[in-house]
Amino acid sequence: MAKHSTLFEVVLNWLFPPHCVACNKAGYWLCPSCIDQVIFFEPPWPSLMDDPWPLQGVRSAARLGGPLREAIHCFKYKGLRALAGTLGEILYDCWEAEPWPVDVIVPVPLHPQRLRERGYNQSTLLARELARHTALPVAEHALRRITPTPPQVGLNAAQRAENVRNAFRCMDDSLSGLSILLVDDVLTTGATLRACAQALQQGHVHAVWGLTLAHE
């Protein structure tokens, strides 16, 4: 369980005692032996995109598979926000191994309609956890998803790029000149991170890096 639990979390844990989403072990949302099965990336970081442009660099904490796939699925689609702490620690470990010189964290946004349906943006929850560990600020509303892009599942790289082209807009003039860390849950082709970085460039940011929890 998280070291610094809020009263809300204490009550939630009492009402819904944690159990591992992958193996059902009590006391954890993702238990240590399931975390042991996760394939973490480490330096030298594998190249996850042929050319990360316009990002300066991109990396993911782990390969999407096994217990981590199950955890991300529950985190995104089953309302299990309580996983944010554990998944945020995994993200932070990857960040801390080799931090980039950034000023502010920006989560990849959901379209407002999907945000209403889901009730939360999983990338924002991850960004907040990373901010808690790093003391970096989060600009939660810096980017806006202006077109309700359909899910990327089943599309090839070119289709994914087309799907998200111009889907984002930078809403925050105060990011001008700053270096940005984009945070998302899963990296597939990188089309979403690229589209976000392009929108941020139109907001005249200095540089953009991308960090995701998992790479598919």
- Residue numbers at the binding site for Zn ion (CB under 5 A): 20, 22-23, 25, 31, 34
- Least gap, CB of 185 to Zn ion (angstroms): 19
Indicate the SS3 state at residue 110: coil
d(CA 162, CA 148): 13
d(CA 130, CA 212): 11
Decide: 76 and 108 in contact? Cβ < 8 Å.
Answer: no
- Kindly calculate the radius of gyration of the chain based on its CA atoms and give it in whole angstroms: 17
- Least gap, CB of 167 to Zn ion (angstroms): 36
- Least gap, CB of 95 to Zn ion (angstroms): 24
Query: Quick one: 31 or 139, whose CB is closer to Zn ion?
Result: 31
Apex 135 CA angle, 203 and 51, nearest 5: 45
Query: Quick one: 25 or 69, whose CB is closer to Zn ion?
Result: 25
Query: Quick one: 25 or 165, whose CB is closer to Zn ion?
Result: 25
119 Rama class: left (phi>0) / alpha (psi -120 to 50) / beta: left
CB atoms within 10 A of CB 89: 17
- Least gap, CB of 132 to Zn ion (angstroms): 24
Query: Quick one: 72 or 180, whose CB is closer to Zn ion?
Result: 72
Query: Quick one: 34 or 83, whose CB is closer to Zn ion?
Result: 34
- Least gap, CB of 1 to Zn ion (angstroms): 14
Task: Quote the tokens at residue 191.
Answer: 């089309």
Query: Quick one: 1 or 11, whose CB is closer to Zn ion?
Result: 1
d(CA 28, CA 210): 28
Residues contacting residue 157 through CB under 8 Å, at least 6 positions apart: 189, 191
- Least gap, CB of 27 to Zn ion (angstroms): 10
